[in-house]
C-alpha cells in the first residue's frame, strides 16, 4: 500500500495523529486493510497527507502499542494477524436508561429509623474539620492503625465507661464504617462453626447479614423481659445477638435478672458469646440511660457494638466494636492486615467533637427535642388508645401500637397509605414470618416537627376511622 486516503480536519478539536490512528484502526477492524498488508512509511504518509512526520509516527506508535500493527526492521509496518477481528465491528449504543419506578410520595413518614438532620451542628463540624486539616497536614493522609486512631479509641473508651458503664481498654476497640462492617468482622473472628440466635422480631439487617454469609441462624422468642433463656437453650445456639438496653423494634429494656441469666448462659461453655448491639441507648426519657450489658460481664463473653450514626448522623459512618480479650488475640492473627474503613480525617473530627464537649451538648439538645416530639406523639394518639395499647415509649425514637385481633396489619398499612401516611408493621421484622394474632404498628417521630406530628396523627386517625 502506497497511499491511505484519509480526510483530516484540522478544526475538529481531535488531534491529527488521533484522526490517522482512528482511520487505520477502523479499516483494520472492518477488513478493508488486510492482515500482513504493508502500511506506507511514516515519511511517505506524512508527505501524502501534508502533515509532520512526527504526527504520523505518533499514530503508528499507538497502533503498535495496541497490537494492530507490527514493525519489522528494514522492511516497515505491517498489519498484525488478529483472530476474528471482524467480530469487533459494532455500533456502540448509548446505555439505555432504566425506567425509574415511580416512588409513592407520602405526606408523612413515621420511619422508626429516621433522625433529625435539621439539628446537625454544621457550624461546629466545619470548624473542627478546618482545625483537624490545619493541625496535622503531614501525617493525616497516610494509612493509620487498622483498628482506628489510638486517640479516638482512647476517647471512646473514656466515654463508654462514663456514659454506659463499659469496661475496656483502647486496644480492645476497633473502629469501622458502620455496624454492618463490624458485624462482618465479628463473623470473621468467630468462624462459621457457630449457631447465632436472634431475638424475634429483630433488627433484620443484622439477621440478613449473617444469613447471607451462610451462618447457621435461628430465631428465639421473647417475653416482656427480652430474649427467653429457656428458648435460647433449646435452640442449641452458642452466639446470642441481643439489644438489651432498647430492643429493636419492640423497645424492651432487659431487666438485671434476665441479663444475669444471659451472662450465666454464655459463661457455661467456652465458645459462647453475646453480641450486644447498643444502637440508640443515649435517648431515654425516664431516668438515666440503662448501663450496658458488657459492664456486668466478668467472664469476657460480651462483644459490644455502638455507633454514632443514630446520635450524630447516618452519613458519619463511624461505629465501634469492643472485643473480649480472647477475641482480640484472634483479631491480631486474622484481621490485622485489614486497613481501617474510616478515614483518619473523620476519626479525628469525631474525636475532637467528643473531647471538646460538643457531643455531650448535642446529645442533651437532641434528648430535649426528641422528648418534646415523644410527648406530642403520645398526646396526639389519645383518641386511638381506646382501640390499641402503646409500648416502647420510654426510650428511643419510636413507639408501638398494638391493636385488637379482629384487625389486620395489611389493612392498617393500606388505609394509612391511601391518606398519604407511611407506617410500618411489625411483620417486616419477624424472622420466622409467622402470622401474628395482634397487629402491631411502629411509629417513629425523630424526623418530624411537633406540629407535623400532630397533623400526621390526625391523618392517621382519619385513615383508620372506618375500620376501628
CATH of the domain at 346: 3.40.640.10
* Residue 306 and residue 376 in one domain: no
| Interacting residues of 88 by C-beta distance below 8 A, sequence separation 6+ | 29
Last residue of a domain, one of 339, 360, 381: 360
With b for 16 or more beta-carbon neighbours within 10 A and e for fewer, the 313-342 pattern comes to beebbbbbbbbbeebbeebeeeeeeeebbb
pLDDT the model gives residue 91: 52
196 and 153 share a domain?
Answer: yes
Q: How confident is the model at residue 110 (pLDDT cuts 50, 70, 90)?
A: very high
pLDDT at 66 (0 to 100): 85
> How many independent structural domains does the chain possess?
3
In a domain, 406, yes or no: yes
**Cα 178 to Cα 171: distance, rounded to the nearest angstrom:** 19
Q: C-alpha dihedral over 54, 55, 59, 64, to 10 degrees? A: 0
195 lies in the same domain as 241: yes
User: Residues with Cβ < 8 Å from 77, sequence gap 6 or more?
Assistant: 38, 39, 41, 60, 63, 64, 69, 70, 71
In this prediction, residue 88 has a pLDDT band, given cuts at 50, 70 and 90, of very low
Q: Which three cell numbers stand for residue 353?
A: 467533637
**Is residue 393 domain-shared with residue 456, that is, in the same domain?**
yes
| DSSP label of 288 | S
The answer to whether residue 442 sits within a structural domain is: yes
**Is 197 or 314 the better-scoring residue by pLDDT?**
197
Strands (E), 273-382: 273-277, 302-307, 319-322
**pLDDT at residue 87 greater than cutoff 60:** no
Residues 404 and 354 both lie in one domain: no
Q: Do 375 and 321 lie in a common domain? A: no
The answer to whether residue 200 scores a pLDDT higher than 80 is: yes
Based on its alpha-carbon atoms, the radius of gyration of the chain, rounded to whole angstroms, reads: 32
Half-sphere exposure (Cβ direction) of 282: Cα atoms closer than 13 Å? 23
Alpha helices in 213-254 (DSSP H): 229-235
194 shares a domain with 310: yes
Q: Please tell me whether residues 385 and 259 are part of one structural domain.
A: no
What pLDDT, in 10s, does the model give residues 260-275?
A: 999 999 999 999 999 9
Band the pLDDT of 98: cuts 50, 70, 90: low
Q: How far apart are CA 129 and CA 136, in angstroms?
A: 11
320 and 420, same domain (yes or no): no
Q: 287 falls in which pLDDT band (50, 70, 90)?
A: low
Q: What percentage of the chain has pLDDT greater than the value 70?
A: 93
Host domain of residue 326:
120-360
Confidence (pTM): 0.79
Distance CA 26, CA 5 (A): 13
User: Per residue in 362-395, pLDDT tens?
Assistant: 999 999 999 999 999 999 999 999 999 999 888 7
Residue 148 has pLDDT above 60, yes or no: yes
Q: What is the largest CA-CA distance in the chain?
A: 99
Q: Which of 303, 337, 360 is the last residue of a domain?
A: 360
Domain assignment present for residue 3? The answer is no
Q: Is residue 310 part of a domain?
A: yes
Angle at 283 between CA 280 and CA 286, to 5 degrees: 135
pLDDT, residue 240, reads 97
Query: Which H/E stretch holds residue 200?
Result: strand 195-200
Tens-digit pLDDT profile for residues 422-455: 999 999 999 987 776 789 999 999 999 999 999 9
In a domain, residue 11? The reply is no
Q: Where is the domain boundary, 320, 340, 360?
A: 360
Residue 97 included in any domain: no
Residues 200 and 332 in one domain: yes
Same domain, 341 and 378: no
Convert the pLDDT of each residue in 25-69 to its tens digit.
Answer: 888 888 888 888 898 998 888 888 888 999 989 989 998 888 888
For 100, which DSSP code? P
Q: Are residues 319 and 256 in the same domain?
A: yes
Between 322 and 48, name the one with better pLDDT.
Answer: 322
**Which CATH number belongs to the domain containing residue 40 in this structure?**
1.10.10.10
Q: Round the average pLDDT of the chain to a whole number and report it.
A: 88
Distance CA 63, CA 40 (A): 14
Q: Is residue 187 part of a domain?
A: yes
In this predicted structure, the answer to whether residue 137 has a pLDDT above a threshold of 80 is no
- Whether 365 is covered by a domain: the verdict is no
Count of C-beta atoms within a 10 Å radius of residue 24: 24
Give the pLDDT score at 352.
95
The CATH number for 441's domain is 3.90.1150.10
Amino acid at each position: 500500500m502506497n497511499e491511505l486516503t484519509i480526510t483530516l480536519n484540522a478544526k475538529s478539536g481531535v488531534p491529527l495523529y488521533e484522526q490517522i490512528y482512528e482511520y487505520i484502526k477502523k479499516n483494520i477492524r472492518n477488513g478493508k486493510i488486510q492482515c500482513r498488508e504493508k502500511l506506507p512509511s511514516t515519511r511517505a504518509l506524512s508527505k501524502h497527507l501534508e502533515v509532520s512526520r512526527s504526527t504520523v509516527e505518533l499514530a503508528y506508535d499507538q497502533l503498535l502499542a495496541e497490537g494492530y500493527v507490527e514493525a519489522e526492521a528494514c522492511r516497515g509496518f505491517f498489519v498484525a494477524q488478529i483472530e476474528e477481528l471482524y467480530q469487533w465491528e459494532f455500533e456502540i449504543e448509548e446505555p439505555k436508561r432504566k425506567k425509574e419506578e415511580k416512588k409513592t410520595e407520602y405526606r408523612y413518614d413515621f420511619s422508626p429509623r429516621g433522625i433529625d438532620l435539621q439539628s446537625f451542628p454544621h457550624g461546629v463540624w466545619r470548624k473542627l474539620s478546618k482545625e483537624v486539616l490545619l493541625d496535622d497536614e503531614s501525617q493525616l493522609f497516610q494509612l493509620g492503625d487498622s483498628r482506628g486512631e489510638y486517640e479516638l479509641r482512647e476517647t471512646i473508651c473514656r466515654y463508654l465507661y462514663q456514659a454506659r458503664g463499659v469496661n475496656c481498654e483502647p486496644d480492645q476497640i476497633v473502629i469501622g464504617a458502620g455496624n454492618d462492617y463490624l458485624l462482618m468482622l465479628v463473623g470473621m473472628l468467630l468462624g462459621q462453626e457457630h449457631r447465632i440466635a436472634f431475638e424475634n422480631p429483630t433488627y433484620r439487617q443484622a439477621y440478613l447479614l449473617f444469613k447471607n454469609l451462610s451462618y447457621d441462624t435461628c430465631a428465639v422468642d421473647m417475653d416482656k423481659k427480652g430474649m427467653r433463656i429457656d428458648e435460647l437453650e433449646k435452640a442449641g445456639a452458642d452466639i446470642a445477638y441481643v439489644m438489651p438496653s432498647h430492643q429493636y423494634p419492640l423497645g424492651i429494656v432487659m431487666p438485671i435478672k434476665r441479663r444475669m441469666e444471659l451472662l450465666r448462659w454464655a459463661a457455661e461453655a467456652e465458645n459462647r458469646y453475646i453480641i450486644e448491639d447498643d444502637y440508640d441507648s443515649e435517648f431515654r426519657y425516664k431516668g438515666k440511660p440503662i448501663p450496658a450489658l458488657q459492664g456486668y460481664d466478668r467472664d469476657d463473653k460480651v462483644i459490644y457494638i455502638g455507633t454514632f450514626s443514630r446520635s450524630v448522623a447516618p452519613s458519619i459512618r463511624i461505629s465501634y466494636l469492643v472485643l473480649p480479650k480472647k477475641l482480640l488475640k484472634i483479631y491480631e492473627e486474622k484481621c490485622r492486615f485489614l486497613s481501617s474503613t474510616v478515614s483518619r480525617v473523620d476519626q479525628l473530627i469525631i474525636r475532637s467533637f467528643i473531647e471538646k464537649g460538643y457531643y455531650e451538648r448535642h446529645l442533651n439538645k437532641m434528648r430535649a427535642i426528641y422528648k418534646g416530639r415523644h410527648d406530642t406523639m403520645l398526646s396526639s394518639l389519645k383518641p386511638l388508645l381506646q382501640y390499641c395499647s402503646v409500648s416502647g415509649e420510654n426510650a428511643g425514637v419510636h413507639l408501638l401500637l398494638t391493636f385488637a385481633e379482629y384487625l389486620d396489619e395489611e389493612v392498617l398499612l393500606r388505609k394509612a397509605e391511601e391518606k398519604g401516611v407511611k407506617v410500618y408493621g411489625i411483620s417486616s421484622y419477624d424472622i420466622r414470618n409467622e402470622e401474628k394474632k395482634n397487629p402491631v404498628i411502629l411509629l417513629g417521630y425523630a424526623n418530624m416537627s411537633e406540629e407535623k406530628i400532630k397533623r400526621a396523627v390526625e391523618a392517621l386517625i382519619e385513615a383508620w376511622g372506618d375500620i376501628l
